[in-house]
Amino acid sequence: MKQIFQDLQDGNTLITDVPCPRLQPGHVLIRTTTSLVSAGTERMLLDFGKANLLDKARQQPDKVRMVLDKIRTDGLMPTIDAVRHKLDQPLPMGYCNAGVVMAVGAGVTEFSVGDRVASNGKHAEMVCIPSNLCAKIPDEVPDDMAAFTVIGSIALQGIRLAQPTLGETVVVTGLGLIGLLTVQLLRAHGCRVLGIDFDPSKLDLAKTFGAETVDLSKGEDPVAAALAFSSGHGVDAVLLTASSKSNEPVKQAAQMSRKRGRIVLVGVVGLELSRADFFEKELTFQVSCSYGPGRYDPFYEEGGHDYPIGFVRWTEQRNFEAILGLLSDKRLDPTPLISHRFLLAEAQKAYELVGSKEPSLGILLHYPTPQEKPEGSLRQRTVELSPPVGHASRPKGQVSIGVIGSGNYATQVLIPAFKQTEALLHSVASSGGASGVHAGKKFGFQETTTETSSLINHSDINTVVITTRHDSHARYVSQALEAGKHVFVEKPLALRREELIEIEEVYQKHPELVLMTGFNRRFSPHIQKMKELLNTVHEPKSFIMTVNAGMIPPEHWTQDPTIGGGRIIGEACHFIDLLRFLAHSSILGVQTLMIGPAPGVAVQTDKVSFNLSFADGSMGTVHYLANGHKSFAKERLEVFCAGRILQLDNFRTLRGFGWPGFTKMKLWRQDKGQTACVAAFVKSIRDGHSSPIPFEELIEVTRTTFDVMDAIHRE
Give the per-residue SS3 of 71-92.
Answer: HHHHCHHHHHHHHHHHHHCCEE
Apex CA 89: angle with CA 61 and CA 17, to 5°?
A: 145
Does domain 151-287 fall under CATH 3.40.50.720? My reply is yes
Phi, psi for residue 30 in degrees, rounded to 5: -120, 135
What's the confidence (pLDDT) of residue 396? 58
- Note if the bond before 692 is cis, omega within 30 degrees: no
Half-sphere exposure of 184 toward its Cβ, with a 13 Å CA cutoff? 22
pLDDT 10s digits, 118-167: 999 999 999 999 999 999 999 999 999 999 999 999 999 999 999 999 99
Beta bridge partners of 489: 466, 517
Parallel, antiparallel or unpaired: strands 169-173 and 192-197 = parallel
Cβ pair 549, 626 in contact under 8 A: yes
pLDDT 10s digits, 260-271: 999 999 998 888
Cβ pair 27, 344 in contact under 8 A: no
| Cβ-based neighbour number of residue 420 at 10 Å | 12
Q: Cα(186)–Cα(180) distance, rounded to whole angstroms? A: 10
Residue 455 pLDDT exceeds 90 = yes
Query: For residue 375, is it left (φ>0), alpha (ψ between -120 and 50) or beta?
Result: alpha
Q: Which residues of 254-288 are buried (b: 16+ CB within 10 A; e: fewer)?
A: bbbbbeebbbbbbbbbeeebeeebbeebebbbeeb
pLDDT tier, 49 (very low <50, low <70, confident <90, very high otherwise): low
> Under DSSP, is residue 589 helix (H, G, I), strand (E, B) or coil?
strand
pLDDT 10s digits, 268-283: 888 888 888 899 899 9
Q: Could you list the beta-strand ranges (E) of 201-266.
A: 212-215, 235-240, 257-265
Phi, psi for residue 119 in degrees, rounded to 5: -155, 180
| Cβ-based neighbour number of residue 83 at 10 Å | 17
pLDDT 10s digits, 482-496: 999 999 999 999 999
Positive/negative CA dihedral, 70, 72, 78, 83:
positive
Parallel, antiparallel or unpaired: strands 97-104 and 27-37 = antiparallel
Output the CA–CA distances (angstroms, integers) from residue 690 to 180, 337, 514, in the order listed. 67, 66, 6
Cβ pair 382, 447 in contact under 8 A: yes
Q: Cα(389)–Cα(384) distance, rounded to whole angstroms? A: 12
What's the confidence (pLDDT) of residue 271? 87
Q: Cα(428)–Cα(386) distance, rounded to whole angstroms? A: 13
What's the confidence (pLDDT) of residue 397? 67
Cβ pair 638, 543 in contact under 8 A: yes
Domains of the chain, residue spans? 2-147+301-366, 151-287, 382-517, 521-714
pTM given for the model: 0.88
Listing DSSP states for 681-697 in one string gives HHHHHHHTPPPSS-HHH
pLDDT 10s digits, 173-210: 999 999 999 999 999 999 999 999 999 999 999 999 99
Q: One-letter amino acid identity for 652?
A: R
pLDDT 10s digits, 368-407: 999 999 988 888 999 999 766 554 444 556 899 999 999 9
What's the confidence (pLDDT) of residue 391? 45
pLDDT 10s digits, 5-14: 988 777 788 9
Q: Cα(174)–Cα(248) distance, rounded to whole angstroms? A: 12
Please report how the helices 61-74 and 76-88 are oriented relative to each other, as an axis angle in degrees rounded to 10: 140
Positive/negative CA dihedral, 474, 479, 480, 481:
positive
Output the CA–CA distances (angstroms, integers) from residue 285 to 157, 171, 250, 309, 440, in the order listed. 15, 14, 9, 26, 46
Cβ pair 652, 76 in contact under 8 A: no
Q: Cα(341)–Cα(358) distance, rounded to whole angstroms? A: 15
Q: One-letter amino acid identity for 59?
A: Q
Residue 240 pLDDT exceeds 60 = yes
Listing DSSP states for 382-404 in one string gives EEE-SPPPPGGGSPTT--EEEEE
Q: Cα(106)–Cα(42) distance, rounded to whole angstroms? A: 33
pLDDT mean over 78-98:
79
Listing DSSP states for 696-711 in one string gives HHHHHHHHHHHHHHHH
What's the confidence (pLDDT) of residue 692? 97
CATH fold match for the domains 2-147+301-366 and 521-714: no
pLDDT tier, 357 (very low <50, low <70, confident <90, very high otherwise): confident
Classify residue 310 as exposed, middle or buried by CB count within 10 Å of its CB (0-12, 13-18, 19+).
Answer: exposed
Cβ pair 539, 482 in contact under 8 A: no
Q: Cα(307)–Cα(537) distance, rounded to whole angstroms? A: 60
- Computed over every residue of the chain, the mean pLDDT equals 92
Phi, psi for residue 200 in degrees, rounded to 5: -60, -35
What's the confidence (pLDDT) of residue 277? 85
CATH label, 382-517, candidates 2.60.120.380, 3.90.470.20, 3.40.190.10, 3.40.50.720: 3.40.50.720
What's the confidence (pLDDT) of residue 74? 64
| Cβ-based neighbour number of residue 475 at 10 Å | 16
Q: Compute the 3-state secondary structure of the chain and give helix, strand, coil in percent, each to the nearest 5.
A: 40, 25, 35
What's the confidence (pLDDT) of residue 392? 43
Cβ pair 258, 284 in contact under 8 A: no
CATH topology of domain 521-714: Dihydrodipicolinate Reductase; domain 2 (3.30.360)
pLDDT 10s digits, 590-642: 999 998 877 766 678 899 999 999 999 999 999 999 999 888 889 999 999 99
Helices (H), 429-552: 434-443, 452-456, 473-482, 497-509, 525-534
Does domain 2-147+301-366 fall under CATH 3.90.180.10? My reply is yes
